[in-house]
């Protein structure tokens, strides 16, 4: 008779163990990118100016103690080591070159031309270390007609056509507190491209210049809207399939001024939902639009307004049809879904 053994914990996901990455970035997109790479096992060395990264005070009240550090800075720079260098000085540049000799990749988020003026551009660094992957995260691309323009997440979303789609029917565009261009078009895209370039470097011995334009990257991810455009359909805010046009996919209020997220996109889920709430006559109308779609949405809205969020949350625990509560951030932190993976 064999003795049962306890289940083993899966090994941590560290595919980049042994890879060293230099992080010359500030604020959100670049540091979030290198935080991901650190989470995946890379040794990330953050190079900051002599006075430190100004992001370490971002968002703090004016009277905050001098030693207090912004939570944003802490969140995006976890798992990294740090060194302060004056890259405008000879010794600072020499020290960075020493780091380059021992590194696999470098990530920077300056405007195009800044690193070249310091004598530390892509051509210089890769002539010194041919296998180096040099990633530049910019707003509009290193070589576009807007290469030298300043911008932030809201500008990149505006120029990509994404911001115009976000919001309710007949109302102005809405800004998201999740920085779509910075994080999807910047951090995630840069991490993916950099990892692909690292594979190439390991295979061929040749590094690459990874040019990440947050505006272009987020535009490429605008897939549903591009699909509608290809069909010749107007993009009306709050009226596309997944932004309010189809009753089966949307946000509905509850009796206590909270919200449910209904994602019953597939017919099987919509059927289960309609049957569960006693409205089988709506089964053929989940993807209806126009006047009919508005009528179906109104009927659902009126029904969900009859009970509190707590009631509906408990109700849909027993009904598998892609309906969930809209949680606050604090509630999400306490939910078993996240606590079980910590």
Catalytic residues: 152, 182
Contact 246, 229 (CB under 8 A): no
261 forms beta bridges with 251, 324
Q: What's the start-to-end Cα distance of the chain, in Å?
A: 35
Contact 63, 71 (CB under 8 A): no
DSSP 151-170: --HHHHHHHHT-GGGSS-TT
Q: How far is CA 194 from CA 17, 44, 81, 180, 235, in A?
A: 15, 13, 20, 19, 33
Q: How many residues does the chain have?
A: 342
Where do we find the tokens 């990509």?
160
Where do we find the tokens 């009306």?
236
Q: How far apart are CA 212 and CA 219, in angstroms?
A: 12
Instruction: Give the pair of three-digit tokens for residue 57.
Output: 């005070």
- Strand ranges (E), 233-295: 249-253, 259-263
Reference 120, options 106, 131, 130; nearest CA is: 106
Cβ neighbors of 233 (< 8 A, separation 6 or more) are none
């Amino acid at each position: 008779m064999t003795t049962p053994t306890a289940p083993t914990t899966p090994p941590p996901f560290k595919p980049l163990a042994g890879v060293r990455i230099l992080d010359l970035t500030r604020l959100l997109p670049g540091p979030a990118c290198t935080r991901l790479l650190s989470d995946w096992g890379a040794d990330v060395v953050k190079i900051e100016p002599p006075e430190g990264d100004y992001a370490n005070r971002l968002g703090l009240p004016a009277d905050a103690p001098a030693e207090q550090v912004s939570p944003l800075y802490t969140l995006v720079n976890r798992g990294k080591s740090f060194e302060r260098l004056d890259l405008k000085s000879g010794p600072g540049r020499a020290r960075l070159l020493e780091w380059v000799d021992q590194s696999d990749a470098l990530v920077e988020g300056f405007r195009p031309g800044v690193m070249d003026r310091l004598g530390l551009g892509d051509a210089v660094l890769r002539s010194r270390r041919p296998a180096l992957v040099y990633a530049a995260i910019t707003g509009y691309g290193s070589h576009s007609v807007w290469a030298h323009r300043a911008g932030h997440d809201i500008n990149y979303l505006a120029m990509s056509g994404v911001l115009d789609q976000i919001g309710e029917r007949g109302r102005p565009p809405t800004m998201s507190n999740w920085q779509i261009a910075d994080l999807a078009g910047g951090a995630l895209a840069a991490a993916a491209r950099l990892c692909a370039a690292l594979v190439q470097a390991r295979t061929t011995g040749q590094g690459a210049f990874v040019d990440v334009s947050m505006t272009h990257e987020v535009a490429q991810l605008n897939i549903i809207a591009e699909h509608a455009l290809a069909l010749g359909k107007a993009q009306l805010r709050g009226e596309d399939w997944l932004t309010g046009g189809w009753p089966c996919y949307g946000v509905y209020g509850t009796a206590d001024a909270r919200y449910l997220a209904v994602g019953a996109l597939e017919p099987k889920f919509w059927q289960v939902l309609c049957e569960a709430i006693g409205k089988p006559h709506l089964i053929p109308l989940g993807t209806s639009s126009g006047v009919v779609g508005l009528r179906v949405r109104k009927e659902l809205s009126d029904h969900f307004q009859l009970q509190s969020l707590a009631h509906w949350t408990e109700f849909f625990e027993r009904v598998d049809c892609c309906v969930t509560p809209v949680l606050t951030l604090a509630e999400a932190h306490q939910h078993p879904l996240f606590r079980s993976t910590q």
